[in-house]
Structure 1
Amino acid sequence: MITLHHLEQSRSFRILWALEELNLNYQIQFYRRLATLAAPPELKLVHPLGKAPVLTDGEQSIAESAVILEYLQEQYDTQQQFKPQDHANKQQYRYWMHYAEGSLMPLLVMQLVMTNVPQHVPFLIKPVAKKITAGVKAGFIQPRLKDHVQFLESYLATHDYFAGTFSFADIQMSFPLQALVSRTQGKYPHIQAFIQRIAERPAYLRAQSKEQAL
């Protein structure tokens, strides 16, 4: 039996969604975040880093979203629906599977950290912390995020999906794009259209319903 170790408000929703796209039988082991928003220590019993998602399938225990998606596609996508087979789109598939967490997400995490730092320092140095973190965001993070937004908007202006037709690359890209829209100010019409498009998929809606019921 496949088990998804699913942490609330986390990247593991992508795996829940993929399981629904594949119409697989699976069970969910759900974990709530601590008051600090950290993952609970029980997750370290599943994987030494205590992070989610983790997928167990028989004797196998698999971590990292892209690796899990690749495993599910190779193992269970018998009709090859969720990974392109032509060379050009296969290259795009590989690129976006790595870009999501390798290029875009680190900037969003850095921005979140810089936003939260002033809330966790002694009162007397809050003004200094705010000034330093604002400088990092304005001088380093935001210019780079602007480049990424322009890149993504340009690509999605001419592509409904990231690798031809809908694929697991779109699932992988969903989390950073949703984070981008929710954590930054700005209008991103093509990114927002993509988010709306994937959110209307029946499997996405089923996954969302299952998560809300946990």
Structure 2
Amino acid sequence: MTTSLTVHHLGRSQSERIVWLCEELDIDYSLRRYERRQDNRMAPPEYKALHPAGSAPVITDGALVLAESGAIVDYLIATRGQGRLAVRHDQAGFADYLYWFHFANASLQPLILQVWFLERSDPSMANVALQRLQDRFGAQLSMLDRRLSASPFLAGAVLTAADVMAVFSLTTMRLFKPYDLSPWTHILAYLQRIGARPAYRRAMGKADPDLKPVLGALP
């Protein structure tokens, strides 16, 4: 039987989250992989045409076309995951789950991109702003490290979708904007736990078979 769900994965992009989620939930899905353009490393025209947002990730499910990592994760957990990997409002850790689920795309990923773009601009114009962003970035990583010193996963004792959302920024994103995680040992230990998960290993092998996951201190 052919599944109606297709994960459209742009190589080395945030859409790896959706492949990983499907593997963790043992969801029946088809994977269509797209290579980045050689000239600018952006998505090819056929990927941009999938959704008006023009960016990864995108899924299609019958007539539905859905973008945005958080929206896709929520959709798949609700429609195919029977609520697994989410934390209900009446369960312990609900507020932690909400915070860390949204932390990745609301705080961490935008901050990495801001630092990256300013580092590539005129240093004489960006120096003060860049230093402030770098300080803020370090503070965010320290906060994350403290959380992981007290809990093996972001929402508590078990992996949830909050982890699925967060890991890209700590791993594959460092191929684009390298940064060293050696000062944050609890984050590094966390990435080793993630890298040992069979579902994560399967997902990365399918999504980017030529890529060794970036799980160590340096990218």
TM-score range, shorter chain: 0.7 to 0.9
1:22, distance to aligned residue in structure 2 (A): 1.5
Q: Answer yes or no: is 1:157 the counterpart of 2:149.
A: yes
What is the TM-score with the length of structure 1 in the denominator?
Answer: 0.87
Deviation at 1:146, TM superposition (A): 1.8
- Which structure 2 segments of 5+ residues have no match? 211-219
Match for residue 205 of structure 1 among 182, 201, 206: 201
Match of 1:191 among 152, 167, 187: 187
**Structure 1 runs of 4+ with >3 Å offset:** 85-88, 179-182
- 1:62 to 2:66 alignment: yes
Shift of 1:188: 1.2
Q: Percent identity?
A: 34
Query: In the alignment, is residue 83 of structure 1 matched against residue 86 of structure 2?
Result: yes
Q: Which has the higher helix share?
A: 1
Matching residue's letter, 1:102 = A
Query: Distance between the aligned counterparts of 1:106 and 1:212, measured in 2?
Result: 23
Residues 148-207 of structure 1, C-alpha deviation per residue, up to 9 Å, x if partnerless?
122111111001011121111110011122246972234210111111111111111111
Whole-Å separation in 2 of the counterparts to 1:135 and 1:18: 39
Instruction: Report SS of the residue matched to 2:40.
Output: coil
Q: Is the 8 A contact 1:108 1:180 kept in 2?
A: no
1:171 aligned to which of 161, 164, 167: 164
Distance of aligned partners of 1:18 and 1:114 in 2 relative to their CA distance in 1, 3 Å threshold:
same
> SS where residue 14 of structure 1 aligns?
helix
Task: String of CA shifts for 1:45-89, please: whole Å, max 9, x gaps.
Answer: 2101210100111121111101111111111122x4311234441
1:213: Cα distance to partner? 4.1
Pick one of 57, 62, 72 that aligns with 2:76: 72
Name 1:123's counterpart in structure 2. Answer: none
Q: Counterpart of 2:133? A: 141
User: Which SS does the other structure have where 2:41 is aligned?
Assistant: coil
Paired residues in the alignment total: 201
What secondary structure sits across from 1:6 in the alignment?
strand
Q: Over aligned residue pairs, what C-alpha RMSD do you find? A: 1.9
Instruction: Name which one, 1 or 2, has greater alpha-carbon Rg.
Output: 1
Runs of 5+ in structure 1 lacking a partner? 118-128
